[in-house]
Amino acid sequence: MSGQQHRSTKTAKNSKQAGQRTRTARRRSCQSHEEQWAGMIDLRSAPLPTAQRQQLVANIGHSQGNTHLLRMITPIQRDDREKPPTQPITTPVDETATINKRGAAELKVGEIAVVVLPDGHSQAKKMRGKAHTSFKLKWGKFQYESTRGAVTAVTEPVPPPITVTIQTIYGPRAAATDPSAYGRGTTEEDKQVGNTSLGFHEGRHGLDYLAYLKKEPLPAFAGAVGMSVKEFKQAIRAYRAAVAAYTKKMNEQSAAATDCVGEKADFCVEQPQP
């Protein structure tokens, strides 16, 4: 073999080895970045810090053969952003409810809009080891027009639409898994099926409220166009009083059905029985 042929063969061999080393390095780089990407998918429930995410994207972009991964990053991150936060809600809601961006459940009970908020927490000493489920009714202002002391038109729905908000608050050292101290959760039927927790008890209050709203219509508003402004304002006051009585009865019926059965609460002496 001539010297020129020997040099040509050696050069080709070196070129082949260099190419092999380059391909091996690329495979290792791709594998490394794919492992990083897999780790990112595993951590989707706890998103990476912005700087770390940007570095990961840059690394993937610099490695050849990973453009398909780079294209996947944006839609996956967008899907995570659009998912509402998952937070505990003690009051059970049915399949008609939707979860909004705040994590609250929204549903309609008849014509009433209901919002069931995620569970809250209180540090008040009087709430130590306890929980409380309550509701609030909210509505807008009565808007009307008048001429010469008489109501001539209403500019908004009258009465204004009502929204009912329900929420369970847990105090210090209280959790949904704690045993119920009285009422629902302590009856023989509840014990037989294992429904003995504080969360179950409080959830029954929420269900009591929903059942009441479904069964009992809201008070009627007696005001109308053509009344004097004085009469219309009297109708507004009467309506507010009727709503207050409605909510009082709603609380009383829930207390009777959920607190005053099984091992009754201390305050049940004066509560009407369901």
pLDDT band of 100, cuts 50, 70, 90: very high
H or E element: which one contains 99?
A: strand 98-99
Q: Which stretches within the chain are classed as H helix?
A: 3-42, 50-62, 67-82, 188-193, 198-215, 229-254
Prediction pTM value: 0.68
d(CA 55, CA 33): 11
pLDDT band of 47, cuts 50, 70, 90: low
At 271 the pLDDT is: 47
- The bridge status of strand 112-116 relative to strand 150-154 is unpaired
pLDDT tens track for 237-273: 999 999 999 999 999 999 999 999 999 999 997 545 5
pLDDT over 90 (residue 129): yes
Three-class SS of residue 87?
Answer: coil
d(CA 201, CA 183): 7
* Beta-carbon count within 10 A of 51 CB: 8
pLDDT band of 78, cuts 50, 70, 90: very low
Mean pLDDT check: name the lowest of 56-60, 104-108, 235-239. Answer: 56-60
Q: What is the DSSP letter of 218?
A: P
Taking each helix axis from N to C end, the angle separating 67-82 and 3-42, rounded to the nearest 10 degrees, works out to 10
pLDDT band of 87, cuts 50, 70, 90: confident
Question: For the residues 35-42, what does the mean pLDDT come to?
Answer: 42
